Structure 1
């Protein structure tokens, strides 16, 4: 079978947009089909998986996983962008000592389901327009409140008290859609002060971790950048899967509505992978809720002509 692309586990540098990172990778691999699995702000470095060719069909399934961040919060003033790059909008000098116990208690309180309002300087769309576009025009629009999950939130440094500010680093494991900038603001609110996120690194996105990543400079120096590509099979190894026989493989490659393999009957996940006997990923399928004992295509990776 022909190659269907794969995933480049990129380590995005600071000072670059996610769009420009994808553009660079697209140029390296000489392809028009490339897309990332979750935006990183320009001032943030970290894990940015980039899907190539038909692996772009998997983007939504790779973004469904949790992400891990190492951040820093500065308590004492807030900014319009909720990070260190924005103009100061409120100052609340910390004139009394915040103890480590108080900080840890706040972090514990913020674990679990949490409501967040996306910052105005974000890529969330309202009425077909990105929020940061409204913000640059000086417009403030109603923003949708979203429910996210903080699986783990722990302090990773001592508290530094200086010049009316308190600074400490933290590690957050969270669901997709979480704004760490907003989380930093929420930490400050619970302590009774204005705050902002002063530093951030994404150390994991789904199954992709810092140790798996490669930089743009390393990619550009490689004689064969294909060696840095993770196969679609490895990219979806977190999903349950079934190896099917040659007869069923032909029907799957045509995207057919098919009897559910016995091995998939116990799956509780919304979709699962189908592999041929060479353990090549053919498609993602799901149970047909309207037809008992049947399955239907969720996303075709290979087809009869590939």
Structure 2
């Protein structure tokens, strides 16, 4: 059983919970997830099954799409609505909608983020949330992420001294939407937090592709695995493709170093195909000019 299982992760479940559940349903240990989602967040969680576990790092490295709500008026220690309130400031006047859109657009491109204390980023071999639970604040590494696009989805709502609005963001892996919400609030002059988040796309896999855990159980009971699993290529569509002939296919299956293809690629890493079958992921050889070498043979 090989392929990508597009799971719709429910609220209250960790990504690891979903992996464990799918292992039981499909009766296999070879299950890997492609980027964690916080327990309070629902959304697209592609799981790689069997041979597809070889492409986990490449599917994890894809663009993500989120829909979120930022609430202004108070901030929390976790940067979302589950945490303790650490700062408040009543929103007394309405915002200019055009100015808000301009501030959102100012976040497009390469930006720097400091990961929240309640996150799984490791500092000196220990996860930040472990320090946070001990009441310790440690210096956190600044990370660069990329915002491809960010748009407000609806008008601003005002209630009880707070303001909130939904937005969509298309971003690189490693982007903390909680931190983005806090930074948006700072630019608007108010403490803020993320009050809602949903991941609607990972790479080429969208919300519409996904199955709930209940649907996965039912289809597995019916042994309808062909309906559950997406082909490996769906996790690699963001990479350039090199189409090869039968003779080269055999050499690739043996993991051989090959002459560089004549076509131009947008990245040093690309997938290799024979007809519709994905054979491997190759890269330009770092030491042998004019050669390419395998990264993963599938």
Q: TM-score, normalised by structure 2?
A: 0.94
2:245 corresponds in structure 1 to 245
Instruction: Structure 2: give runs of 5+ residues left out of the alignment.
Output: none
Q: How do 1:162-241 residues align onto structure 2 when only pairs under 5 Å count?
A: 162-222=159-219, 223-226=222-225, 227-241=227-241
Equivalent residue, structure 1, for 2:102: 105
* Counterpart secondary structure, 1:68: strand
Gaps spanning 5+ residues in structure 1: where? 302-306
**TM-aligned CA distance change 1:108 to 1:24, over 3 Å:** same
Matching of residues 22-41 of structure 1 within 5 Å: 22-41=19-38
Output one character per residue of 1:169-208: Cα deviation in whole Å (capped at 9) or x when no partner: 1111111111000011011100111000000111111111
- Considering only aligned residues, what root-mean-square deviation do their CA atoms show, in Å? 1.5
Is the contact between residue 111 and residue 146 of structure 2 (CA under 8 Å) also seen in structure 1? yes
Q: Are the structure 2 counterparts of residues 169 and 234 from structure 1 closer, same or farther at C-alpha, using a change threshold of 3 Å? A: closer
Q: Are positions 1:146 and 2:150 aligned together?
A: no
What is the SS of the residue equivalent to 1:161? strand
Please tell me whether the aligned partners of residues 81 and 119 of structure 1 are also in contact (alpha carbons under 8 angstroms): yes
Note closer, same or farther for the CA distance 1:169–1:281 as it changes in structure 2 (3 Å cut).
same
Number of equivalent positions: 295
Correspondences of 1:62-73 after superposition (within 5 Å): 62-73=59-70
Does the CA-based 8 Å contact 1:29-1:225 persist in structure 2? Answer: no
Q: Spell out the pairing of 1:250-269 with structure 2 (5 A cutoff).
A: 250-262=250-262, 265-269=263-267
Q: Out of 154, 157, 162, which is 1:157 matched to?
A: 154
1:131 to 128, 133, 142: 128
- 2:108/2:146 contact within 8 Å kept: yes
Matches of 2:81 and 2:122 in 1, distance apart?
23
Aligned pair in 2 of structure 1 residues 234, 187: CA closer, same or farther (>3 Å)?
A: closer
Query: Which of 35, 45, 49 is residue 48 of structure 1 equivalent to?
Result: 45
**Residue 299 of structure 1: SS of its match in structure 2?**
strand
Mean CA deviation greater in 95-104 or 140-149:
95-104
The TM-score with structure 1 as length reference comes to 0.92
Relative to structure 1, the CA distance from residue 104 to residue 233 in structure 2 (aligned partners, 3 Å threshold; closer, same or farther) is closer
Distance 1:42 1:288 in 2: 41
Q: Structure 2 CA distance, aligned partners of 1:99 and 1:9?
A: 40
List structure 1 runs of 4+ shifted beyond 4 angstroms. Answer: none
1:95 deviation in Å? 1.7
